[in-house]
Amino acid sequence: MSIIEFTPQKTIEPLFGIKIMPILKKIHKKMSKEEYEKIIKIGLGINLNRMIQLKEVEDENGKVELIIIIFNYKSKIKKKIKESRIVNEKGYFNFPIYEIDFNKELNVEEIVKNMRKKNN
């Protein structure tokens, strides 16, 4: 008989968020969630297996925005994320949210790689 040893999985944590421009927010309303996520991943240079979440949020002026949350986890299996992993007990996000220039080439996987280098 052999012994199987399981290694615990890393906890799924948000790395950062990206504020989506208004035109992409409008497109979001017209497409299925799966199609939209795939287009966003391809357009922003996100690995198709990286876990992301789209979330509508309200800013301090009452304006509703759409953000994409990038997680530290890759999987072909979709997983649900607990709200407590995203928002702290005061109702604020536990990670930075960036406004990016969509007129420039963007590769989110490079940003994640650079973040990991800085943290190690």
Please choose, from the candidates 20, 28, 64, the residue with its C-alpha nearest in 3D space to the C-alpha of residue 44.
20
Mean pLDDT value of segment 55-60 = 85
pLDDT of residue 65 exceeding 80: yes
pLDDT of residue 84 exceeding 60: no
Please choose, from the candidates 59, 17, 63, 58, the residue with its C-alpha nearest in 3D space to the C-alpha of residue 40.
17
When pLDDT is cut at 50, 70 and 90, the band that residue 83 belongs to is: low
Q: What is the pLDDT of the chain when averaged over all its residues?
A: 83
- Contact partners, residue 38, CB within 8 Å, separation at least 6: 48
pLDDT at 67: 93
- Give the predicted TM-score (pTM) of the model: 0.79
pLDDT of residue 72 exceeding 90: no
Per-residue pLDDT reduced to its tens digit, 12-37:
888 999 999 888 888 888 889 889 99
Q: How far apart are CA 57 and CA 70, in angstroms?
A: 15
